[in-house]
């Protein structure tokens, strides 16, 4: 059964009193329900009865809904599929170079359990990364797989914050309505406001939508919430956001740290090369392109994920300059 403690507090100001109560899922930290009750101190017993009545009325259906959601997002009953998923999960978060192998393992897990929501969502994310990093050997096929896995994941685990976040970034890159995908991540964060990776992806989508300052704010929140996680992904988004806002000198140190965190991740190299080019540091830009070519053959990527046309052209023109291309 779902472990969900009831917490609360009482505050007094003059002759008024405020009682707050909240129900929390002890496993995930997600807020299941919260409310507050105000009144005069002389009516404290009436307020107490109101609190008790409200809690009694909400707690059973809330707990039932939480338990239903938990059952829907539980790991598969197939232990081999679960083992494959765990191995792939560790890989995809450790290094960009391991994404192809992580996808292979996720697809094996899905083969054993076609309704394994988290594995479907991570497979969609892996396909997105192959496209984003420039490692896809068949962009059309990988784009179709990303969309298929993402939609199947939503069908079987639509209240899992991790599923929602992975689906949102995969579909957003594939061209789905950016507002709808941002709403998916908002839903994930409503389910778990302390979900660091959700804040990271929310920031990435804000960047796609042309909102660099929100992208920075959300990724700073991700770093605060999970200080022991890899810093590269969030620093990469923050650096890209500063670049798109034309704060080139602020972008450079973040991008250098993102590359240091994961030297196999191609995207920060591209942004840094474009950044150096727009700063007039062409020798540095060309050195970064040289390092990028050691990671991927794709120097000038498909940048349609950037919905803001000025941002897209800033990125691509910098890259073309850095790569010595004229068009």
Weakest-pLDDT range from 92-101, 188-197, 281-290, 306-315: 92-101
What angle is formed at CA 34 by the lines to CA 30 and CA 39, rounded to 5 degrees? 160
pLDDT digits (tens, 9 = 90+) for 227-251: 777 788 999 999 999 999 999 999 9
Report phi then psi at 12, rounded to 5: -120, 135
- So what's the pLDDT on residue 1? 41
Weakest-pLDDT range from 34-48, 66-80, 128-142, 275-289: 66-80
More confidently predicted of 147 and 17: 147
Instruction: Decide if 273 contacts 239 (C-beta within 8 A).
Output: no
Report phi then psi at 81, rounded to 5: -60, -40
pLDDT digits (tens, 9 = 90+) for 206-232: 999 999 999 999 999 999 988 777 788
pLDDT digits (tens, 9 = 90+) for 149-162: 999 999 987 689 99
Output the average pLDDT for the chain: 86
pLDDT digits (tens, 9 = 90+) for 23-73: 665 555 655 567 777 778 677 667 666 666 555 554 545 554 454 444 444
- So what's the pLDDT on residue 74? 52
Prediction pTM value:
0.76
- So what's the pLDDT on residue 2? 45
Q: Which residues of 162-192 are buried (b: 16+ CB within 10 A; e: fewer)?
A: bbbbbbbbbbbbbebebeebbebbebbbebb
- So what's the pLDDT on residue 68? 41
- So what's the pLDDT on residue 228? 73
Instruction: Decide if 168 contacts 203 (C-beta within 8 A).
Output: no
Tell me the pLDDT band of 254, cut-offs 50, 70 and 90.
very high
CB within 8 Å of 25: residues ≥ 6 apart:
2, 3, 4, 31, 32, 66
Q: What is the mean pLDDT of residues 309-314?
A: 98
Q: Is the predicted pLDDT of residue 276 greater than 60, yes or no?
A: yes
Q: Is the predicted pLDDT of residue 5 greater than 70, yes or no?
A: no
Q: Is the predicted pLDDT of residue 189 greater than 50, yes or no?
A: yes
- So what's the pLDDT on residue 26? 54
- So what's the pLDDT on residue 250? 98
Write out the two tokens for 104: 């292979």
Instruction: Decide if 132 contacts 149 (C-beta within 8 A).
Output: no
């Amino acid at each position: 059964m779902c472990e969900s403690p009831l917490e609360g507090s009482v505050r007094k100001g003059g002759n008024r009193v405020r009682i707050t109560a909240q129900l929390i899922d002890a496993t995930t930290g997600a807020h299941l329900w919260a409310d507050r009750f105000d009144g005069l101190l002389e009516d404290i017993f009436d307020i107490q009865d109101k609190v008790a009545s409200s809690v009694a009325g909400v707690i059973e259906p809330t707990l039932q809904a939480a338990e239903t959601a938990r059952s829907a997002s539980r790991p598969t009953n197939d232990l081999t599929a679960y083992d494959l998923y765990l191995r792939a999960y560790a890989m995809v978060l450790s290094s960009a170079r391991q994404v192809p192998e992580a996808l292979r393992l996720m697809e094996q897990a899905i083969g054993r359990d076609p309704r394994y929501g988290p594995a479907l969502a991570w497979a969609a994310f892996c396909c997105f990364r192959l496209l984003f990093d420039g490692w896809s050997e068949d962009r059309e096929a990988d784009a179709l797989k990303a969309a298929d896995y993402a939609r199947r994941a939503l069908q079987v685990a639509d209240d899992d914050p991790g599923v929602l976040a992975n689906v949102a970034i995969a579909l957003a890159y594939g061209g789905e309505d950016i507002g709808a995908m941002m709403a998916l991540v908002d839903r994930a964060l409503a389910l778990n406001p302390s979900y660091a990776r959700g804040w990271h992806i929310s920031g990435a989508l804000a960047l796609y939508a042309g909102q660099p300052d929100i992208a920075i704010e959300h990724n700073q929140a991700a770093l605060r919430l999970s200080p022991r996680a890899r810093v590269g992904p969030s620093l990469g988004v923050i650096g890209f956001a500063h670049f798109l806002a034309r704060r080139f000198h602020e972008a450079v140190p973040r991008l250098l740290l993102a590359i240091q965190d994961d030297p196999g991740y191609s995207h920060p190299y591209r942004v840094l090369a474009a950044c150096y080019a727009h700063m007039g540091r062409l020798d540095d830009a060309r050195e970064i392109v040289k390092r990028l070519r050691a990671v991927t053959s794709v120097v000038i990527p498909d940048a349609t994920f950037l919905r803001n046309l000025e941002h897209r052209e800033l990125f691509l023109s910098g890259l073309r300059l850095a790569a010595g291309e004229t068009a």
